Structure 1
Amino acid sequence: MEKGWMKITNRWASAEYKLGVESFIQFAMANLGSEAEIRCPCIDCLNTKKVSSVVVKIHLIRRGIDPSYKTWVHHGEPIPVREPQDDDNLEHNEGIRNETSGEVPEDDNHLHDMLEQIYFGGILDDDINELHINHERIDMHNFDKLFNAAQRKAYLGCETTVLGFIVKMLHVKVYKKMSNDAFNLIMQIIKEMLPADCHETIPWTIYEAKKLLRDLGLGYVPIHACVNDCALFWKENANLENCPTCNESRYKVNDGTGQKIPHKILRYFPLTSRLQRQYFCKKTAPDMTWHKDKRVDDGELRHPADGQEWKEFDERFPDFAADARNVRLGMATDGFNPFGNMSQSYSMWPVFMVPYNLPPWKCMKEPFCFMSLLIPGPSAIGRDIDVYLRPLIDELKELWQNGVQTYDSSSGQTFTMRACVLWTINDFPAYGIMSGWSTKGYLACPICNWDSISVGLRSKIGYLGARRYLPEHHVWRRSKLFNGKYEDRTRPLELSGKEILEQINSGTYKPFGKHTNNNNSKKRKRDEYEKNLNWGKKSILFDLPYWETLNLRHCLDVMHIGKNILDNLLGTLMGVDGKNKDTEKARKDLEDQQIRKELHLKRRANGSFEKPPAMYTLSRAEREGFCNFLKSIKYPDGYAANISKCVNTHGGKLSGLKSHDCHVLLQRLLPIGMRGYLNKEIDTTLFELGNFYQQLC
C-alpha cells in the first residue's frame, strides 16, 4: 500500500491525505471482513481502542495517524521480514494489543454518524475551499466537547455514553410533554442511584443538558421586540435601548444593576441549518430528491410537484429547477392559546416551514416540519406579523440568491443548496394577516378583488353571487331560488402578481405597531382600507424576488374549512344553539329577497312571529335516531377516533368533535346517517358535498 500520505501535516487542505484515509479504511474493512469495528491508529488511540470506521475517519483527520505505524498489522497487513531496529516498535504494538479498549455501543453509533455529518460533511469532499477551513477553525472546540461526550461512558462498566443518555432523556421529556422541573427531579433521582464517579461527567439539569446539545445546531436565536410590535431589536437596531418607531423602552425592568428583562422575545430557529441536516443524514438525503427521481408523473395530483404551480415555477426559473436538490417550501402559521381551555386569553403564533421535496408520506409528518419562528403574545399579532417575519424572509432571500454550501451524504458531494417558498397555508383570518388583504367587509373575497359579489343583509354581509363561477349555460344561472334574480355576470378576472403589486404600491399605509391606535381606531382602520382598495399593507413576502411571479401565493387550510362547514350543517340540521344558521333574521332575509315564501315568518294575532318548520330541520326523535346511528358504528383500526364518545343519544346532541372527526363525518357518515330523515334533494346534496371533499382530500 502507498503510505506517503501518512507524513502529510496539513491534513485539512490535502486531498492526498483524505484519499489515503479512505484507502486505509477500505483496506482494513476488506481484510477484517465481518468485524463491525476496527482499531484506531490515531496518535491518541494508538490501536488500543476498537471503534467504528466512522470514528476512525474522524480521528485520523482530526488528530492524525501515528507515523510509527508503518505496517498495518492490526488491519490485516502481513508482517514482513523486519530489520532488528524495528523489533522494539513491533513488541510495543504487540504488547498493547490486549489492553482494555473503549468500545462504543452499537446504539450510539448513530451519534458518531451525526457528528461526522455536521462537522465533517463538506471537509471530507474533494472540493476544499475557504468555507470548509473556516468551518473547521470555528467549530472544532464544540466538536471535541460533543465527541468526547459521545465516547465517554456514563460510568465504569456502563454501555451507554453520556451523549446518548442525554439525548434519550431529552427525547422522553419532549415526547411525554414533561416540564423542566419534572425533568430536573427525575435526573436528581437517577443521580442518587448511580455511582459517584459519574456525578461530574453527566449534566444533571435541563439547563446543562441543553447547553451540551446546543452545539448540534438545534438551538434558537432570541430576538427582543418592541412592546407595541413596531420593530425588532435586531441588526441595525440591535444596540438600541428604545424602539426606533414609538420610543418605548426595550426592557420592562432596567434598574441599573444589570438585570434587564425585555418586554417581548421572538424565538427564531434558523432554517438553513435544518435544511442542511436533511442532506447530512444518510437516511433522509435520498428522499430530498424523491420528487424528481421516484415520483410518477401520470397526470394524477398526489404531490405538490404534480401541480400546475410547481411546473410553471420550473419553467420560469430553469436554473433553480436544474438541480433537484434545491428545496421547495410551504409556509404555515396560525394563532393558538398555549394555556389550552383556560380563561386566560393569549395568542401565540408559530410559523412552520414544510419541505415539499420529500415524498407525500413524509413531508407533512411532524419530524420534517420545521418551526422557524415563535411569535409571542399576549394579543393577536394582526398586520404587524411582518415585523416578526423579517429574520425568516432575510434568510429565504439569501437562500434564493446565493444559496449555501451543503454536503449531500447520498452522493458524497458538496453542492450549493437554494430554497424558495411556493405558497402559504392558513385559515381565512390568517390569510388576511399574511396577504394584507382584509377578509372582512364587502370586499372580503381576495379572488373577486374589487369586483365584489357581496350584498348587505339585515345582520351581516352575504355573498350570494357564487353562481357567476358556474359555466355560462348552467341551469342554476336561470333559477331565481337563490336570491330572486337571474345570474348573468361572468366570473371575476384573475389578477396576476404584477397587477396585484401595482394595486398595493398605489396605496399609503400606516407604520407597523399598535402605538398608532386610539379611541377612533376602528373607524380610522375602515377608512384606511377603503382608501387602499381593502389593502392594509404591502406584505413582506413581496421582498422575495420571485413572489410576484407566483400564480398561487396563498392557500386555504381545508381542515378549518371542513370543520366549519360540518359544524354549520349539523347546527342547522339538528338545531344547535350558536351554530344554527336558520335564525329569525335569516328568515327575514328570505322575505327581503322575496324567495322561499313557505319559510317566511308568520305574524300571530298578539304581534309575535311564528317560524314555520323547514324540511331540513330534524325533530327530537330524528336527532336521537341519527345519534344512535353514530353510536353503533365500528371503524377500521386507525381510520377514525371513537366518535361515539362525542354522542349523547338522550336529546340527540354532539359535542367535542375534533377536526379529523369532522372530516370523517362530512365525507362518509353524514350523508348516510341523514338519508332516512331528509328528502331526496337534500340527501343528494349532502352526498355530492361529501364526494367533493373525498376527492379534495
Structure 2
Amino acid sequence: MRHPVDGSSWKEFDKKYLNFSREPRNVRIGLAADGFNPFGNMSLAHSTWPVVLTTFNLPPWLCMKESSFMLSLLIPGPKSPRKDMDVFLKPLVCELKHLWQEGVRTKEAATNTFFTMKAVLLWTINDFPARSSLSGWSGQGYKACPTCNEDTPSMHVTNKVVCVGHRRFLHATHAWRKSLDFNGEPETRSPPKQFSVVDIDDQLSRLLYRVPGKHPDFGGVKRKQEDFELNWNKRSIFFELEYWSSLQLKHNLDVMHIEKNGNKFYRLHPKYSLKVGDRKLFCQFIKDVKLSDGFGSNISKRVIDNNSNITGLKSHDCHILMQRLLPIGIRGFLTKDIYTPIVDLCTFFKQLCSRTLLVDDMKKAKKAILLILCKLELIYPPTFFDIMVHLVLHLPDEALRGGPVCMRWMYPFERYMKKLKHYVRNKARPEGSIAEGYVAKEALSFCSMYLRDVQTRFNQPDINEDVVVEKTKLWVFESKCCPANAKKIKYLTINEKLNFEWFVLDSCQEVRDYMNEFKYEHLQDDVKTKFLKWFLEKLYLMKVQNSPEFHPELYALSMGAEINAFTYSACIVNGVRFMVRGRDVEQITQNSRVLAEGVNHEKYYGQVEEIIELCYGNGAQNVDNDLVEDLDVVHNNSSSNCLLSIDFTQYLLNTSSHVTVGEKSSEVNMPTVTDNTLSDDESNNDEDDFEYDTEGSEAEGSEADTEESEGEFD
C-alpha cells in the first residue's frame, strides 16, 4: 500500500457509490483541524483553529504537500470551540453537501472541455482531543476508546482511569488468558465486539437534545450525561453528509501524537528506571548522536548540561528517539525481559510509519502489538497505560483501511500552522492577519503559475538538487553525482592510476564482452595486468578498419584516465548530500556513512573517505574530432544505498602494474595523449562549502521518512 486508494475504505466506497467512482476526476478530500496559539508564546490564553482541506487524488508525494492545502475555515479565539465546533463547520458542510449532490461545472484544461465535478470527504485528520470535538465521542473516562466503544478495557487506579486488560483481545485458547501473573485472576471476558454502522446509528438515536455548550438555560454549567448516552456528547454535523455513516474510517487516530505521548520509556517506574550512572551514559549517547542532514533537529541540545535528563522534545524528536535511538541505547542498561518488548514496540512504529505497507505485514503487526501490550502489562504498573497507549492497538486496522500513515498524520499540518503563525503582524487581530496573509500568498501562487523562466514555489529546486544525467553509450560515463563544492586537483601515482582504470573497466558492463574475448584468447595471461593493453590495441584496430562496433567512448576508455584527477569534499546523489569523513567530523550532522551490498547481497557499512573524479578522453582531438572530453565521478550505481566513493586500498596494496617496465612497444602505432587538465578557475562547480545546522528543522517521511527517508541508512 502506497496511497489511500490501496486501503479498504477507499475500495468499499467505490463499490457502494459507483456513479461517483466512475468519474476519475471527482475529488477525494481530507479534513484536518487543530488549535494553535498565534502569538507563539506557548500560552493557552488564545486558541485559533484553522480547518485545512487536502486532496487525495494526487500522487503520494503531493498529497500532503503545502501546495495541496486549502484553508477553508479559520475559527477565531481566544477560546477553543470544543462542542460548538459544529456551529463553525456548518458553512463548510453545506458546501460539501452541494459538491456531493449537484457538483460544480469545471473546465479541464488538458482537453479544453467541461464536466461536472463532485467531491467527497474521506476522513478527518487530527489529534485525539480535536477528534473528540469533531466526532462527538469524548476521549475521557472509562469508555474513552472510540473503537472499543462501550467495551473499552479500563479501570480506576489512584485517581486515574487506566486502560489495562489487553489479554481480553487474545484468542480464547491462548495460554495467557489463564495466567495469574497479570492481575492474579484469569481472563474470561470475550474480545470487544465490532460495532457496525447500525450499532452506531442506534447509539446516536438515543442521544438527548441539548443546546451546545454551557448554555444559560441549563444554569451555565456542564450537564451530566445519562448512562445510555455512553461517551457521545453530540451527533457530529458530518452525519448530515449522505455517505458519512457508511465510511469505514471516519476519524483517523494520529500516530504523531500517539507516538509522542506514549514515549515514556526514559521516565520509567523506579523499579525499572536507569541508575544514575546508566542514565548519564544514555544521555551521553543521545548527546553524541549525529543525524543525517535534514533528517531531524539537533537532538543533542535536548540533553541538559549534567547529562542526567532529556527535556524539551518535540513531536519529531520523539519520533526519531523511539524508532531509531531508543532500541539501540537501552540494550546495555536494562535486562532482556524488560528491553525486548520496548524494542518490539519501537520496531512496530517503524514498520507502521513506512511509506510502503504490505497488507500481510499489517495483519501480522495487529497480532504482534497485542502480545507487546500484554508483555508490557507484566512489567509496568497500571498507571502507565493511559488511553494513548491503548490506542496503539487499533493503528494496524486503520492502516489497512486508510493506507500509509504518512498520508493521514498531523506532521505536515503542524508545519503549516507554524507558517500561518508567521502571518500574524497585528496581534490585536491575529485571525485577520492570517486571513490576509493566506489570501495574498494564494494570489501570488496562482499568478506564478503563468510565469515562464522564473523561479516560483512550483519549480523551485531543492537544496540538494540532482544533476541532469546525460545519456551516453557507456554506463560509467552517465554521472549521477553532482559535486557540491569547488574541486581540487589530485595528482595520481602510476599505481593509483592503473588500479583506478582497472576498477572502471571491471565495473563497465559494456566491456564485459571484450574481457571474455581476451580470456578466451589468452588463457594463461592475467586479465588485470594484460587486458588494458590488449583492449587499447583492439579499439585502435577497430577505428582503423572503420568497424561498426567502434565507439569513441570505448576508445576513450581504452586510452585510460588522465594523470590529473579532481577531488571534492561533498557531492549530491539522488537528492542526498554526502560528505567525506574529514569534512563530516566538523559538522553537527553526519553525511559520510554509506551502505554497500556485496556479490552475495551481504551488507557492508563504511564511510566516504574521498570523492574522486577521473577525466577520460583528454587527447581525443588527436584521434577523432567527434570525441569530446568527458568528466565522470567514479561510482557504481545510482542508488543512494550503494557505494559513492570506492575504497581503493585493496587495489593499491600488493598489486602489480599491468605495464611492464622495459616491455617492447606494440606494433600498432598508438595515438599520443596530451594533458588538457582543467584548472580550478575553469570548474563549473565552484560553490563555496556550506555549513549545515539542522537545529529546529523537521524532516518530512522522507519523507521522512522518511524512512527510508533521504539521507538515512539502516
Q: TM-score, normalised by structure 1?
A: 0.49
Task: Indicate the structure whose relative CO is greater, using CA pairs within 8 Å and at least 6 residues apart.
Answer: 2
Q: TM-score, normalised by structure 2?
A: 0.48
